[in-house]
Amino acid sequence: MSDLTGGAGAIGNGAIDVAAVACRNLRTSFRGSVYMRAPTLLEAVSEVEVPAGRTQQFWLTIHVPPDTPAGEYAGTITVAPQDAAPSPLALILRVHPFELREVQGVSLGMYDQLWSATADGAWLRDRFADMRGHGMTTLGYCGGLNGTIDLADGVARVRFDGTSRFEQVMEAYREAGFPRPLLWLMDGDIWAWCGEQAEVGSAQFEDLYRQIIRSVLQQSDRRNWPGIVFQPVDEPGSYGHRPNAAYIERWAVESRLIKDAGGAVEVDHIPFSTDDPRLKDALERALPFIDIFTQRFSTRPIWFEPDGWWWGNMKQQVAEWGKELWSYNINDAAFFPELPTMRLAYGVFVWREQVTGQLLWQYQQAAGNPLNCLDGSYTDMMYRYPETPHADIPGGPSLMWECIREGVDDLRYLQTLEHAIERAEADGRHERAQQARAVLTGLASSLDMEQLRARNRYIECRWEETATDSSGAGTVGGSFNIPNGWDLADYDRRRNRIAYQIVRLGGGP
């Protein structure tokens, strides 16, 4: 890879990452047994073996330095076979004359159990730097407080001494520059500690619980942590949890106590009404204390409550309550290269649906070998593959992870144009502002949601061609895309139109 040069300067090849796309056997659904050999992992290798009759995909990531002058930059990619003449390929990059705004007002993140974290902090810093480098503005941390709770004269306080996992996570989170509060999926250790001191449900128990939450929030303020959103339990509305009365009751009580203590409360996968007696009473008690509802987009009633609650009326109800709506697992928790889904989810979908959060489960999760998606009862989640020295595999990002960053960049373009429109209107440039708004209106209306509702339950991709071969095995072909009226090139075409409008308005941060 050569340097990229133009009339205004140069971008050195040290700013260009070249990766070979490696294929893995991936399940096509979360728990299904059907799998496919699919392009997945980006390996930063200088040489790659390509068997005869095969094609090899490469992925280039260009890190344009912030002070790079606008203009076109040209360079050469050279493919050098071992026993043939090198083949030069021209590369032209256009640098726009504006800087994209950082995402404002939206929590974009991944849940993470931090399953192999070490205590020295470097592992966390590298992990969080990768998330920030891919546009994430929050983290769904799964774990306990793991700190010391001191009890003196009936008052409980949390003491952080640098050794607890939660404190290490929050310090690394702050240092990484995450701008939005961390979402904390709690593991019940605070509830358990309070239960050791007082009878669950007693006034003393509830006072202790509130004191601990207040202590955590006070230390968050003193340490300049970006804030905390509390998720007391996971998916209290799911059918699997409903037989567990203690779990449902704990959710309702913790939601109230956290809110009493001044915390922000989130819940995922919950209906807004139900006739199920296992959930009904707790649901009605908890709903007033919820600040953020995290729901899975669906084109029909949600899987955990088929009584009419679906994305459209949930969105309307949340707005009427004045609460926040976040989106979660937009493709039904599949880990498969549904690249348009990943890009749409973290970009145009967030903007069009006006949600204030987008999350996926999860950054890294493996049932066994992270390079073998088939050795567990459900799919692995490897948005970044870990380095595996014994297998001579350097690890690296997945294609899905890179397309999530493309989606975040789409959102940054959209928010940058909206900001430029506001400035133009304030300056009296109403005609150009109106023309730019028309572009945004056309973009929103160009998504064919009726076609999506007719063919999909979630925002998953569909193959253009499906068939069965002579052996009875399924085959697929053609494009792999969301049935929403956009072809695969429309994402870049529409981004270019947005960029053009930003330039016309003299936009930027």
Q: What is the pLDDT of residue 30?
A: 86
Which two three-digit tokens encode residue 414?
Answer: 């959209």
Q: Confirm if 109 and 136 have CB atoms less than 8 A apart.
A: yes
pLDDT band of 118, cuts 50, 70, 90: low
Whether the CA torsion 315, 319, 321, 325 is positive or negative: it is positive
* Mean of all residue pLDDT scores within the chain: 92
For residue range 293-303, list pLDDT tens digits in order.
999 998 888 76
Q: What is the pLDDT of residue 508?
A: 65
Q: Confirm if 288 and 324 have CB atoms less than 8 A apart.
A: no
| 260 vs 449, higher pLDDT | 260
For residue range 398-407, list pLDDT tens digits in order.
999 999 999 9
Q: What is the pLDDT of residue 315?
A: 93
- Residue range 282-290: mean pLDDT, rounded: 95
- Residue range 11-24: mean pLDDT, rounded: 94
Q: What is the pLDDT of residue 29?
A: 87
Q: What is the pTM of this model?
A: 0.95
Q: Is 233 a residue whose pLDDT tops 90?
A: yes
- What residues have CB less than 8 Å from 434, skipping those under 6 apart? none
Q: Is 134 a residue whose pLDDT tops 70?
A: yes
Alpha-carbon span 311 to 296, nearest angstrom = 8
Q: What is the pLDDT of residue 411?
A: 98
Q: Is 85 a residue whose pLDDT tops 80?
A: yes
Q: What is the pLDDT of residue 334?
A: 84
Domain 107-362 adopts which CATH fold? Answer: TIM Barrel (3.20.20)
Strand locations in 286-433 (E): 292-295, 324-328, 357-360, 364-365, 381-382, 384-385, 396-397
Q: Where in the chain is the domain with CATH 3.20.20.80?
A: 107-362
Cβ-count burial of 200 within 10 angstroms (0-12 exposed, 13-18 middle, 19+ buried)? middle
pLDDT band of 126, cuts 50, 70, 90: very high
For residue range 445-502, list pLDDT tens digits in order.
999 999 999 999 899 999 999 999 899 888 899 999 999 999 999 999 999 999 999 9
- Residue range 142-151: mean pLDDT, rounded: 93
Q: What is the pLDDT of residue 119?
A: 55
Q: Is 307 a residue whose pLDDT tops 70?
A: no
Which two three-digit tokens encode residue 484?
Answer: 């929403």
